[in-house]
A = this chain, B = another copy of it.
């Protein structure tokens, strides 16, 4: 009994992982414009239905592949100093936006999303919400430990933190450097840091 095949469920999870990796590899090779469900299926040696059972569109599949690749960059530390932890994560994760494999593919998705409202919604739901959510969790923790004041809308603050950095990365030629991150955090802490 020890060498029985993996259960369908385990095979399913491994297959999902494999498809995400194939998608990212292919995206890096051929770019967003060259991607298709068919090309991913061919490369992975599966039928298209195997993919469509998991994702309803190429965009969803690619955004999940990007999320998976970027997951570790999005983790915040908890050292008890929210300003330092935000600073460390912003400076660590920002280069991914401009470096391979994620950077160029991600920019291509964002470009495509400008003329495709459905893709824009998917981009937000499958990827950016995760970015904002992890930030919100870290600052909510800081609120619970008294580093930030009570009774303020931290959900919007998380959007301001993420949104400002995205704006700089995508629409300007300014770097996300220490000065930028410190400027942003100075405003955030001035707004919501607990006095004293």
Number of copies: 2
Name the residue of chain B whose CB is nearest to the CB of A123: B171
Count how many chain A residues have C-beta atoms less than 8 Å from C-beta atoms of the other chain: 41
A157 interface hit (Cβ, 8 Å):
yes
A141-157 at interface with B (beta carbon < 8 Å): 152-153, 156-157
In the complex, the answer to whether A173 meets B111 with C-beta atoms within 8 Å is no
Name the residue of chain B whose CB is nearest to the CB of A122: B173
Residues of B within 8 A of A110 (CB): 111, 114, 170-171
- Stretch of A21-29, A43-51, A83-91, A187-195 that contacts chain B: A187-195
Minimal beta-carbon separation of A73 from chain B (angstroms): 18
Report A's interface with B, CB cutoff 8 A.
104, 107-108, 110-115, 117, 120-121, 123-124, 128, 152-153, 156-157, 159-160, 162-164, 166-168, 170-174, 180, 183-184, 186-188, 190-192
Of all A-B residue pairs in the complex, the 5 with the closest CB atoms, nearest first, are A163-B167, A156-B183, A191-B191, A111-B114, A190-B191
